Structure 1
């Protein structure tokens, strides 16, 4: 019953304006003359999308109207993947990471077990202090997270050691930043999981992701389009599959090859993770945030080390160019038969 409730909670309530817009697009697709020629790659994409709408969406809509209700059959069904060709891979770092993905020992967790992630993090913290003034600083911590292999996010636990914060350039460290220094937990990680199906990163889900790079590329662009911002969002989704997530080697290799084809990816020859380990990074600039998001790999083994974001536009990021705003280091990933005992928990 809990799983059924999670199914239901992931279905957003559509607003009337969006329904009307979707209805207009559907009617336009139905009435489009299939003999009418379309030009170039965009035309081929439109024809493919039109065929899918006619043979999939139209049939589903007719059935739903006949029944008077739209239902979601299973939680496992993703929204249709974006129809766009995968460009040629442009990132040598990610291509090499894909080639090395099958050369390391593999974990084989089973339902009932936990994947245990240990990491070091730094993240920006902003808000209002006790005196009403705005505060900004960089919070740091060492984390240990237990996540169930079967995908129940509400069954996870976290233990955290809050470290001495670092200053946000130009801002003093406020007293509030040091209030929770020290070790906390283990404690329950979450009481709910409101992520969309295609954004899940638990092992039960990612172990069924495509092993074909082109299909993995489509997965990264689920419900996205063809703008630069969509490319940025797809790049951010790679982070979701690398941070406190474990993909089998085949899916991991497909992810790296798919990420290598996202437009705008560049190589950063010298990058350092949150624990001070030096490596080489595949990176992409987010012009809206004014930061470069880097995924860091060991220069020899191409094992994933961690990630960081570096300021490229001071005005947009609110910090000098070159400032490291976020940083992480994946210290270890292991399998445990159980989570922390009741005596260990807060």
Structure 2
């Protein structure tokens, strides 16, 4: 949204010159106002009538050029990566780059360009509405639910062409493509215990929906088999991760002999720290990662991990999004995880 769209500091509180002003009075997001005034049937009738009434009352007319642009096809799909859980994480993260590569391949093949946004929700609460209402994209892909689950749910109520890479929960309203993370957590814990681990640690932040599901699955198996398990919060930004992994290992060595890392990147950091301490893997410490990124087969020793099929996920995201652009209210797609047994457990 450009400077001309922002309300002037000298405007009266009830002056309506922009969509943002109207949204403030109506108590909704600018994106909802934009969709309501363009006649989008996905905005419920009561909300649309309320917004139209306020617009008439204040003599508001939306920018005609912007409205025209929103009605046209842009040939661009927006990809947003919300980082509410860890604002220092970078898009250069190996998982993001792997998924983005597959998405770019799929979108290009279907004739679409890609517009990428790294989002810090604390700095822009309406990040998703702004992106959708910008008039620059035909649809949106969100990579990761982070701590933005409810915001994504609210947008899904009035916006159809959106697909999210993330964890599926029973009853949720937004369309998701992703791995069965809870089952993946179960596979990881079962492997560690079968390999002889008598006490487990989960490395990762259990606030994001996907990681919470992975930990829940591992904890279910551990409790059923009478094996203690603890969660050790670990950031995904490399600078924090390295320090936190070192601190965690100092705290658990001697009492824990099995680590389930929430990502392969964390597992690789564990291997590095253990090697520097001359602690043999898997003789003294077993490790299982998650993702099966290309690096996992090249570590020393090669990493046992839970594979999520990122290539199939990217294809599923694009296929579902294109169907949604045609008006099809699609179901979510949950992919099965697979344990890739290598040498660390």
When normalised by structure 1's length, the TM-score is 0.21
Judging by fraction of residues, say which structure has more strand: 1
| Higher RCO (C-alpha 8 Å, min separation 6) | 1
Give TM-score, length-normalised by structure 2: 0.21
Higher helix share: 2
